[in-house]
Each structure stands twice: as C-alpha cells, then as structure tokens.
Amino acid sequence: MSVLRRATDQQQSEWRPLPEGLWRFLISAKPEVKMNETFGKYQVRFALALTPDEQKRLKDEHGDPPEGQSQSWRSNYSPNLSLGWINKVGQYQSTKLVDFLAACLGTHSKAFRKWIESGGGPPRPDDPNDDKAEIALIAEWIAWWEGLEVYGTVTHRAGKDGTLWADFAGPIAVGSLPGQKDDDYQAHVRGKLRSMLVSAGEPPARPSIPAERVPVAAAVRPPAQQFTPQGEEVEDPELPF
C-alpha cells in the first residue's frame, strides 16, 4: 500500500465490501431526502450498517480482510420518494419506500401499511406550493426510522471504474424469519409507531379483544318458568318433563 495516496489512486481498493447474502442492518444515521439529478426525482437515502452481532458473524464466517484492506460493514438504500397510489380498480399499489419503511417496523408492518393505504404520512405544509417546507416536514417524519433495523440481501455490482459495490435489496422485517422473533425489538418499534401516529394527529388504535367463547356445557341456563293465562308467574311449577 502506498504511503501517500494520490488523487487518481483507487481509494475503494482499501476496503473489502460486504459479502453477498442475507444480513441484518441498522439505520445508522438520520435518513436524507435528496433530489436525484440524473432522474429528476426525490429519493430517500438510508445509511445502513451491520448490527454488532452481524459484524461478529461476518468475521466468524469470512475471516479478516487481506492485509492492506479494511472490512466494510456498510451499505445504503435509496428508494424514490413515493408512498404509493390507488390504481384504476381501487387497489393500493405499494412502493419500494413503503416496503422498506414497513419492514423496519417488524411484526407491526401491517398496521403501518394500513395507515399508509388510508392516506397516512408526514404532515403537509400550510402552503401546498411550498416545496421547501414540504421536504423539511418529510425529512422530519423519515427521521423516525433512524436506529431501526431490517434484514436485506446484499449483491455485488461492478462500477464503471472497477469498484465493487455492495447493493442492498429485498427488505425483510425483523421477526419474520424462523427463530428470529426478537420480542425486545417488537416492543421497541411498537412504541415508536404509536408515538409517530400520535405526532401525526392519529389516535393510537385500541387493540381488539375477541369475545371469550364459553363452552355450551359450562353455560348457565336460566331457570324454567311457567305463567298462568293471566300472565302471573307460577312459583316452582311442576313441569311435565
């Protein structure tokens, strides 16, 4: 490795990218809302880093990087800024952003999706034409996801300059994999989701309590009653059965 790195030297060669496969990531910084100048669309950039347990797993399974290289724990994900739409037949169409946000909420992803489908999302600015204010509100709302976790698949992609990139795709909710329930994480994201809905002006949904089923044999039957033609109740009637 050169003592002095020049501007034209390949800097990325000093890092070994994440291996391909399924890994658990942490959103390690506040998500950013940025304009993609190439495509002319707003995107949300999520900075992802392996959780500490996954960093240990990577070292156990793949060992240390070659001399002169450092192991990268990081990737990023940049879906377009869209919360979906209703198609011509009245069905909600999801997006990569919604899929990612929902996956980060673990086993509570269905409740979040239902809220988004009903028109939920970040607050709107007082002036609907104030794009700067709207972007600020969106960025503030997206910040709720900082510190949350998600599974994702890493695949390698060669850049034009020969750099090997580790791309994230296919977000999967924590708790959806066999043996990966993680009750502590589910409790954490449940509280965060409730707080987010309250801050957005949405009352937290009350859990539905199913009616208790009572076995027929255990049901209390009312005592038998008999009345005269005048409507007077007969005490202790002698029934013919």
pLDDT on residue 88: 92
What token pair was written down for 42?
A: 């707003």
- Please list the ranges in the chain whose pLDDT falls under 70: 1-13, 202-241
* Residue 59 DSSP symbol: H
Bridge partners of 153, per DSSP, are: 22, 169
pLDDT on residue 209: 36
pLDDT on residue 3: 57
pLDDT on residue 111: 93
d(Cα 207, Cα 20) in Å, to the nearest integer?
40
Predicted TM-score (pTM) of this structure:
0.77
d(Cα 75, Cα 151) in Å, to the nearest integer?
12
pLDDT digits (tens, 9 = 90+) for 145-204: 999 999 999 999 998 878 889 999 999 999 999 888 899 999 999 999 999 988 877 655
Answer yes or no: are the C-beta atoms of 117 and 92 closer than 8 Å. yes
pLDDT on residue 179: 85
DSSP E strand boundaries for the chain: 15-16, 21-27, 32-36, 41-50, 70-71, 74-77, 85-86, 92-93, 149-158, 164-172, 226-227, 233-234
* Three-state secondary structure of 114-182: HHHHCCCCCCCCCCCCCHHHHHHHHHHHHHHHCCCEEEEEEEEEECCCCCEEEEEEEEECCCCCCCCCC
pLDDT on residue 229: 44
pLDDT on residue 11: 52
pLDDT on residue 68: 86
pLDDT on residue 62: 95
pLDDT on residue 6: 64
Residue 137's CB is within 10 A of a number of other CB atoms, namely 17
